[in-house]
């Protein structure tokens, strides 16, 4: 029995006996994703989507989609199986809407910066940069977990209950610390001031984990997956040693995962780049799903990842945004989608999507459509 037959849900007698391949006359998007997380296969590999706002606008125009339900109509057209919900004030309080210079809920500052075709928020001020005393952390005006607004979660999850609903609480502590402290100072902390780094990450985690508790206990009934972004890696490897990762990051990562599992939900961790050396510890911490699978990073070959970690992780993403989606032909995009489905989707455990979370504006429209049309029919 070939990989293609397994992918479309045709099971061997042994597979049927093991209940490994699951086929129904009607499979919802939610069921498709839940099956992938449990390393089972259904009618096709599930897909996810997110993109820069300019890409959304291009797709709306191309597909002649408009109105208040535009995003849902777009997801229907692309056969997207997930729906992500962010809290209000996720990064900025509402008072910062429309400003060029903005202050985040954490207190670091950004500036809207234009580039060809779009804009992004550039970090311009890290309030703890140069402040090397733990007393500076103690005196810092930390945000209350209450600032994150989850009140819309139940209604939005209910409106999209046919899809796998992903709830976001806030960024991971390392991610936030990079902005608050500056990357340079934080890396020096990791090397020379571990007590400072440990205290800083612990203080950030107090806020973020309290917010996670609120989300799960009061607003999480319709959520299937909880998402946390916490980038530790470059294209060539982790930004710090595995030993430091074990000492400083794993403790708060494990606490977050345990809270999520206590509420019978799956944990999706976002780590760009060459994360392979950290995967045994990430798995040991209980993480269920890994995004975005940046296949051009060192050690991130899909075949090797599937072989070594495919029994423990559900992979999420994978479609290369550095070369194939932005510079390849539609045929190359289609071939890569099929390759990833055959490799990462073998025996379940894969949700196909962009290999860097957000599709960027340099991806040609025809390549984006080729990606999703191929995924839907493969």
Residue 225 lies in a domain: yes
202: number of Cβ within 10 Å = 14
CATH of the domain at 141: 3.20.20.210
Residue 100 lies in a domain: no
Spatial distance between the Cα atoms of 296 and 7, rounded to a whole number of angstroms: 25
DSSP β-bridge partners for residue 85 = 167
pLDDT for the residue numbered 258: 98
**Mean of the per-residue pLDDT values of the chain:** 93
pLDDT band for 82, please (50, 70, 90 cuts). Answer: very high
pLDDT tens digits along 115-139: 888 899 999 999 999 999 999 999 9
pLDDT for the residue numbered 1: 32
- DSSP code of 143? P
**At residue 159, does pLDDT exceed 80?**
yes
**At residue 10, does pLDDT exceed 50?**
no
* Token code pair at residue 13: 């007698």
**At residue 8, does pLDDT exceed 60?**
no
pLDDT for the residue numbered 116: 86
Strands across the sheet containing 118-125: 101-103, 109-115, 118-125
Q: Contact, 148 vs 95, CB < 8 A?
A: no
**Given CA atoms 241, 242, 244, 245 in this order, what sign does their dihedral have?**
positive
Note the pTM of the prediction, 2 decimals.
0.92
**At residue 3, does pLDDT exceed 70?**
no
Residue 113 lies in a domain: no
**At residue 11, does pLDDT exceed 80?**
no
Mean pLDDT of 187-207: 98
Mean pLDDT of 64-86: 96
Q: What percent of the chain has pLDDT over 70?
A: 93
* Token code pair at residue 290: 């890994």
* Token code pair at residue 323: 């070369």
Q: Contact, 361 vs 117, CB < 8 A?
A: yes
Spatial distance between the Cα atoms of 357 and 292, rounded to a whole number of angstroms: 6
**At residue 16, does pLDDT exceed 90?**
no
pLDDT tens digits along 264-290: 999 999 999 999 999 999 999 999 999
Angle (CA) 306 270 179, round 5°: 150
Spatial distance between the Cα atoms of 225 and 34, rounded to a whole number of angstroms: 9
Residue 2 lies in a domain: no
pLDDT for the residue numbered 21: 52
pLDDT for the residue numbered 378: 82
Structural domains counted in the chain: 1
Task: Tell me phi and psi for residue 121, to 5 degrees.
Answer: -95, 115
pLDDT for the residue numbered 17: 31
* Token code pair at residue 279: 């995967």
Instruction: With CA atoms as reference, report the closest residue to 8 among 34, 44, 51, 36.
Output: 44
Mean pLDDT of 25-37: 91
Residue 115 lies in a domain: no
- DSSP code of 199? H
Residue 345 lies in a domain: yes
pLDDT tens digits along 54-74: 999 999 999 999 988 999 999
* Token code pair at residue 175: 């991610």
Residue 123 lies in a domain: no
Spatial distance between the Cα atoms of 321 and 330, rounded to a whole number of angstroms: 13
pLDDT for the residue numbered 7: 35
- Domain with 85, as residue range(s), is 29-92+129-377
Q: Contact, 22 vs 39, CB < 8 A?
A: no
174-180-184-187 Cα dihedral, nearest 10 degrees: -30
First to last CA, the chain: 16
Residue written as token pair 């991610």 = 175
pLDDT band for 23, please (50, 70, 90 cuts). Answer: low
Task: Tell me phi and psi for residue 82, to 5 degrees.
Answer: -120, 160
Spatial distance between the Cα atoms of 70 and 10, rounded to a whole number of angstroms: 35
Q: What percent of the chain has pLDDT over 90?
A: 90
Residue 111 lies in a domain: no
pLDDT for the residue numbered 68: 85
* Token code pair at residue 141: 């005006």
């Amino acid at each position: 029995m070939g990989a293609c037959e397994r992918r479309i849900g045709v099971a061997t007698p042994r597979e049927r006996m093991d209940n490994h391949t699951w086929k129904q006359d009607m499979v919802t998007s939610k069921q498709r994703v839940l099956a992938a997380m449990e390393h089972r296969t259904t009618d096709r590999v599930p897909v996810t989507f997110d993109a820069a706002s300019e890409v959304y606008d291009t797709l709306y125009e191309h597909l002649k989609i408009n109105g208040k339900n535009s995003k849902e109509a777009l997801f229907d057209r692309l056969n997207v199986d997930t729906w992500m919900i962010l809290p209000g004030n996720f990064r900025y309080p509402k008072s910062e809407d429309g400003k060029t210079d903005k202050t985040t809920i954490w207190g670091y500052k950004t500036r809207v910066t234009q580039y060809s075709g779009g804009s992004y928020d550039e970090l311009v001020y890290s309030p703890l940069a140069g402040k090397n005393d733990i007393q500076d952390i103690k005196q810092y005006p930390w945000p209350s977990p209450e600032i994150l607004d989850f009140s819309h979660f139940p209604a939005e999850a209910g409106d999209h209950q046919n899809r796998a609903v992903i709830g976001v609480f806030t960024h991971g502590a390392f991610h936030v610390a990079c902005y608050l402290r500056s990357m340079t100072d934080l890396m020096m902390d990791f090397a020379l001031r571990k007590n400072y780094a440990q205290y800083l990450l612990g203080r950030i985690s107090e806020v973020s984990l309290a917010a996670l508790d609120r989300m799960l206990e009061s607003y999480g009934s319709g959520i299937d997956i909880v998402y946390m972004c916490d980038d530790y890696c470059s294209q060539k490897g982790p930004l710090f040693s595995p030993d430091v990762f074990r000492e400083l990051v794993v403790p708060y990562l494990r606490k977050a995962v345990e809270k999520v599992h206590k509420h019978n939900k799956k944990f999706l961790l976002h780590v760009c780049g060459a994360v392979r050396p950290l995967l045994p510890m990430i798995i040991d911490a209980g993480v269920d799903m890994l995004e975005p699978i940046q296949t051009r990073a060192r050690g991130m070959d899909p075949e090797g990842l599937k072989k070594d970690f495919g029994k423990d992780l559900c992979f999420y993403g994978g479609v290369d945004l550095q070369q194939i989606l932005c510079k390849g032909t539609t045929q190359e995009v289609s071939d890569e989608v099929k390759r990833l489905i055959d490799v990462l989707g073998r025996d379940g455990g894969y949700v196909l999507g962009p290999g860097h979370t957000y599709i960027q504006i340099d991806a040609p429209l025809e390549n984006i459509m080729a990606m999703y049309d191929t995924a839907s029919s493969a």
